[in-house]
Amino acid sequence: MKNYVKEGQKLPMFGIGPYLITGLGLLTLTGQILSGNLLKSGILQGIWITVFRIIGVILILFGIFVWYKGAFKSGMDESITDNILKTDGIYSYVRNPMYSGWWIIMIGLILMWHNLWLLIIPVINWGIMTVVLKNTEEKWLLDLYGKEYEEYKKRVNRCIPFRSKNR
């Protein structure tokens, strides 16, 4: 998985991301397909369709915002190539904004289907994301940045964007 762009760069540019997001997306898509066939008993009716769709659209837009800030407005590429731990901007709210953005988008898409059975998928996706990140990128970052990364982990959540009280 070597996708280095600069001599001396310690971390891969894309990491585990493309594989992780593809897996989460396939799980989400599978649930949506099953929703129309096997899981019909969970489909909501009436006002709940509108409520779920409104919340879904809000989450999709928020997820796009979080992903966009992490992917294009954070300067993360330069931090990776220069071996600098990124902790400001969107990274002061969430350690993995690009993964989080996609995860939030997928939650929004699931809500658009207004099926209660599908609400287990974001929990499963979160679990997968947590296990994969703990065993890959978090180990790489701990090896590279040590105590600085440990302190950062205490202040900033892995997947859910929010402002930490420890500032």
Domain assignment present for residue 101? The answer is yes
User: Rounded CA gap, 123 and 20, in Å?
Assistant: 15
The mean pLDDT of 83-102, rounded to a whole number, is: 92
pLDDT score, position 42? 82
Domain assignment present for residue 164? The answer is no
pLDDT score, position 122? 96
Considering only residues 48 and 10, tell me which one the structure prediction assigns the higher pLDDT: 48
Domain assignment present for residue 12? The answer is no
- Span 106-150, pLDDT tens digits: 999 999 999 999 999 999 999 999 999 999 989 989 998 999 999
Domain assignment present for residue 9? The answer is no
- Domain residue limits at 77: 17-155
pLDDT score, position 167? 52
Considering only residues 52 and 11, tell me which one the structure prediction assigns the higher pLDDT: 52
- Of 58-67, 71-80, 140-149, the range with the lowest mean pLDDT is 71-80
- pTM score of the predicted model: 0.86
pLDDT score, position 166? 61
Domain assignment present for residue 2? The answer is no
CB under 8 Å to 14, separation ≥6 — which residues? 1, 3
Rg (C-alpha) for the chain, rounded Å, is 18
Per-residue CA distances from 147 to 10, 83, 88, 133, 162 (Å): 17, 15, 17, 18, 22
**Cβ-contact 85, 149 below 8 angstroms:** yes
Domain count, the chain: 1
Judged against a pLDDT cut of 80, whether residue 70 lies above it is answered with yes
Domain assignment present for residue 162? The answer is no
Domain assignment present for residue 47? The answer is yes
Judged against a pLDDT cut of 70, whether residue 12 lies above it is answered with no
pLDDT score, position 1? 45
- Span 22-46, pLDDT tens digits: 999 999 999 988 887 777 778 889 9
Domain assignment present for residue 132? The answer is yes
**Long-range contact list for 90-94, CB < 8 A, 24+ apart?**
90/66, 90/161, 91/156, 92/156, 92/163, 92/164, 93/156, 93/157, 93/161, 93/162, 93/163, 94/66, 94/70, 94/156, 94/157, 94/158, 94/159, 94/160, 94/161, 94/162
- Of 2-11, 44-53, 83-92, 138-147, the range with the lowest mean pLDDT is 2-11
